[in-house]
């Protein structure tokens, strides 16, 4: 679906976004260094698509989601949402835009107040952002509960009365309250058991169709990402490795890291002949990333140039970008 | 036929709650052969971890083994005293836990924690134990083992901590290794390293492994035999090829169908409706029937027993199940 879109229809334009966290230490708590959580990410998010973001822990995928939503101030870069440059917007300027952008969190139990009933928790956003009457608000919440596969009677229940899958449905209902156009799903199904996970993924796909939603779907589970995404971004240590359509990334991965990630997934089928690309060692610290290509310390194909020169992030095929000297 | 190292028979584990004793594990039976890897799969709350903890004699204070036998080395572990169990735990049977940060003690060095089982079970002195500990760290692929010995758990990464846990579990060359979701908290590339390591060490020491997991991908990778659990019961048991290529129980079929597969195109995932029942839910008949797409009247009323189909066992009415004689539902109602 991405190929039919032109650049004009971009929902979100993210240009060279950086997010550094200072490391404080010593007697006067001076800045000793920086954790480069996100280091130069540029991408476009098109309306009604799902952009999957994958990578291992510490690669900056969650930070990227938070930065895009304006939940964390940027260190550098530019964010353009529906043609408005929101990079330097103050909280008051962002407020009307908050209706358009929502987030679904990993652990719905931690993101719900245990002493607040489900109905009022979902209703809160309506009180802040709309001037609906109390009965209209209640109707809207009841409709939402039904929409996400819960029951109207659940309105007066507490979070602890729900199972994990149901709580995630509450999280989804809450994100939908204000009819957003863009939702960041941060590991939204990772905490769920597979049988329930499948239910929630199917729900997210149906809602996307019904409400014309755009998702930024952050996950470490490549199976889930492949299933739900139109395009996929692979990140490693805060930088972009590869971006392309889901078919391209999964059938023709060009970056050695993407290839290794794909071959590391344990497949739920018996095939003893499968060759696995084994990565040596662990992910380096983002406070002190390797020189040149960040992946060179673990890359099976690394050459001398990789340690010296940062590979250019370039388009090798229409819509398929990769940052590797040898791709 | 390899010799049998462990036999669990009709194990029932209960927990004391405000509503009285509730069964989390409802009469499971299985055996484990020498050098074999058995995977126990199921979703959270199915009783797989509790079964493992019962074998280790590590049930929490509000849990008890209400029924059943666990035979190991000619002894029934259920009947042993604490001090007798302690001689076996960490020595003949050891365990790897899911979250290596919480399983390792943050205030002791890696070296101390690694030497502990060696000094207790093998009566080694400090220097000999330390030498063996370094050897073990090398075996699990940790670089600079001498330096690591003096480090604390927080100084290591997740993958390294899990390697240390494996080294501790293997210190006394156990006959049985129980691994409870050993790779769930790890990234895929690290997970692949750890699974390879476990396989390699297993071959080397001819250890029998009970691997507990919810990830069907991990199962396909390591298992010889698979036990599928649902709501406290074993619903299907068979060798790994049969479970993946010819699953019989609707729950096993559902589990396999709901995993998003990277190698296949799927428009919609086949989810299992509903969710795992909680402990206090009373279910008549087959425990899976409220979520089963094929449930019949009979399934709602009578509890099926395990039936042999070819070379694997299934607990389902549709696959020629028989009326269960171990009717645990009525037993519990009497309590």
pLDDT tens column, B245-288? 999 999 999 999 988 888 877 778 888 988 888 888 888 899 99
Whether A127 maps to a domain, the answer reads: no
pLDDT at A2 over 50: no
Residues of A in contact with B263 (CB under 8 A): 267, 269
Whether A116 maps to a domain, the answer reads: no
Whether A121 maps to a domain, the answer reads: no
Tokens of A63: 């930070």
Instruction: Tell me which residue in A165, A262, A267 faces B217 most closely, judged by beta carbons.
Output: A267
* B152 in contact with A, Cβ within 8 Å: no
Whether A225 maps to a domain, the answer reads: yes
Question: How far apart (Å, rounded) are the C-alpha atoms in residues A217 and A61?
Answer: 10
Tell me which DSSP letter residue A325 carries: T
Question: How far apart (Å, rounded) are the C-alpha atoms in residues A265 and B259?
Answer: 12
Whether A50 maps to a domain, the answer reads: yes
Q: Residue B101's pLDDT band (boundaries 50, 70, 90)?
A: confident
Instruction: Tell me which residue in B159, B260, B275 faces A227 most closely, judged by beta carbons.
Output: B260
* B273 in contact with A, Cβ within 8 Å: yes
Residues of B in contact with A223 (CB under 8 A): 259-262
Instruction: Tell me which residue in A166, A194, A227 faces B266 most closely, judged by beta carbons.
Output: A227
Residues of B in contact with A165 (CB under 8 A): 275
Q: Which residues contact B131 (CB under 8 A, 6 or more apart)?
A: none
CA B247 to chain centre: 20
Angle at B213 between CA B277 and CA B86, to 5 degrees: 100
Tokens of B164: 């240390």
Q: What are the pLDDT digits (tens) for B146-180? A: 999 999 999 888 888 988 999 999 999 999 999 99
* Complex prediction ipTM: 0.82
CB contact under 8 A, B260 and A264: no
Whether A223 maps to a domain, the answer reads: yes
Whether A308 maps to a domain, the answer reads: yes
Question: Which of B134, B194, B129 is CA-nearest to residue B160?
Answer: B194
Q: Which domain holds residue A317?
A: 2-100+180-266+274-323
Q: What are the pLDDT digits (tens) for A157-203? A: 999 988 888 999 999 999 999 999 999 999 999 888 888 899 999 99
- Which residue is associated with the tokens 């979520």? B291
Mean pLDDT of B207-224: 92
Q: Residue B1's pLDDT band (boundaries 50, 70, 90)?
A: low
Whether A110 maps to a domain, the answer reads: no
CA distance A147 to chain B (A): 16
CA distance A72 to chain B (A): 25
CATH number, domain containing residue A187: 3.40.50.300
CA distance B73 to chain A (A): 33
- Which residue is associated with the tokens 């290509």? A293
What pLDDT, on a 0 to 100 scale, did the predictor assign at position A33?
85
Q: Residue B7's pLDDT band (boundaries 50, 70, 90)?
A: very high
**Whole-number mean pLDDT of chain A?**
90
Q: Count the domains in chain A.
A: 1
- Which residue is associated with the tokens 């939402």? A144
């Amino acid at each position: 679906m991405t190929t039919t879109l032109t650049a004009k229809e971009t929902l979100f334009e993210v240009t060279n976004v950086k997010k550094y966290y200072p490391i404080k230490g010593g007697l006067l708590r001076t800045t000793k260094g920086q954790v480069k959580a996100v280091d130069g990410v540029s991408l476009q998010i098109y309306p009604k698509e799902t952009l999957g973001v994958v990578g291992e822990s510490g690669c900056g995928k969650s930070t990227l989601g938070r930065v895009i939503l304006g939940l964390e101030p940027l260190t550098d870069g530019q964010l353009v949402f529906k043609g408005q440059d929101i990079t330097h917007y103050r909280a008051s300027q962002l407020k009307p835009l908050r209706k358009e952008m929502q987030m679904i969190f990993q652990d719905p139990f931690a993101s719900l107040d245990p002493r607040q009933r489900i109905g009022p928790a979902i209703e809160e956003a309506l009180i802040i952002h709309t001037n609906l009457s109390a009965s209209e608000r209640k109707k809207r919440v009841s409709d939402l509960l039904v929409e996400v596969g819960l029951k109207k009677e659940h309105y007066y229940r507490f979070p602890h009365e729900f199972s994990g899958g149901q709580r995630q449905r509450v999280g989804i209902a809450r994100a939908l309250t204000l009819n957003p156009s863009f939702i960041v799903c941060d590991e939204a199904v990772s905490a769920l058991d597979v049988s329930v996970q499948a239910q929630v993924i199917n729900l997210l796909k149906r809602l996307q169709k019904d409400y014309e939603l755009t998702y930024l779907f952050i996950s470490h589970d490549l199976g889930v990402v492949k299933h739900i995404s139109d395009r996929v971004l692979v990140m490693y240590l805060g930088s972009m490795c590869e971006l392309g359509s889901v078919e391209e990334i999964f059938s023709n991965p060009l970056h050695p890291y993407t290839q290794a990630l794909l071959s590391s997934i344990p497949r739920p089928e018996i095939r003893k002949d499968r060759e696995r690309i084994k990565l040596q060692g662990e992910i380096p610290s983002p406070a002190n990333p390797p020189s040149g290509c960040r992946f060179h310390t673990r890359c099976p194909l690394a050459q001398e140039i990789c340690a010296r020169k940062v590979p250019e992030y370039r388009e090798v095929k229409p819509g398929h970008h990769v940052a590797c000297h040898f791709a | 036929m390899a010799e049998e190292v462990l036999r669990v028979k009709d194990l029932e584990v209960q927990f004391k709650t405000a509503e009285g004793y509730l069964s989390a594990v409802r009469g499971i039976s299985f055996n484990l052969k020498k050098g074999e890897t058995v995977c126990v799969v199921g979703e959270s709350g199915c009783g797989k971890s509790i079964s493992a903890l019962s074998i280790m004699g590590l049930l929490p204070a509000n849990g008890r083994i209400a029924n059943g036998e666990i035979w190991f080395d000619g002894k029934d572990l259920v009947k042993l005293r604490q001090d007798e169990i302690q001689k076996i735990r960490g020595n003949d049977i050891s365990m790897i836990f899911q979250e290596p940060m919480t399983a390792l003690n943050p205030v002791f060095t890696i070296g101390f924690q690694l030497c502990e089982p060696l000094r207790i079970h093998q009566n080694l002195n400090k220097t000999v134990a330390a030498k063996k500990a370094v050897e073990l760290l090398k075996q699990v692929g940790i670089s600079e083992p001498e330096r690591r010995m003096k480090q604390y758990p927080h100084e290591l990464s997740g993958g390294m901590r899990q390697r240390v846990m494996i080294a501790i579990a293997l210190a006394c060359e156990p006959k049985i290794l129980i691994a409870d979701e050993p790779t769930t908290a790890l990234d895929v590339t690290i997970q692949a390293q750890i699974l390879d390591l476990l396989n390699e060490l297993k071959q080397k020491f001819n250890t029998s492994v009970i691997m507990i997991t919810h990830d069907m991908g991990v199962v396909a990778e390591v298992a010889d035999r698979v036990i599928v659990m649902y709501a406290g019961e074993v619903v299907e048991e068979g060798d790994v090829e049969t479970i993946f290529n010819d699953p019989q129980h609707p729950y096993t079929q559902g589990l396999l169908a709901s995993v998003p597969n990277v190698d296949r195109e799927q428009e919609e995932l086949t989810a299992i409706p509903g969710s795992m029942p909680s402990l206090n839910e009373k279910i008549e008949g087959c425990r899976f029937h409220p979520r089963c797409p094929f449930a019949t009247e009979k399934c709602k009323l009578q509890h099926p027993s395990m039936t042999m189909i070819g070379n694997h066992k299934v607990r389902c009415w549709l696959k020629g199940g028989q009326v269960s004689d171990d009717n645990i539902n009525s037993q519990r109602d009497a309590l």
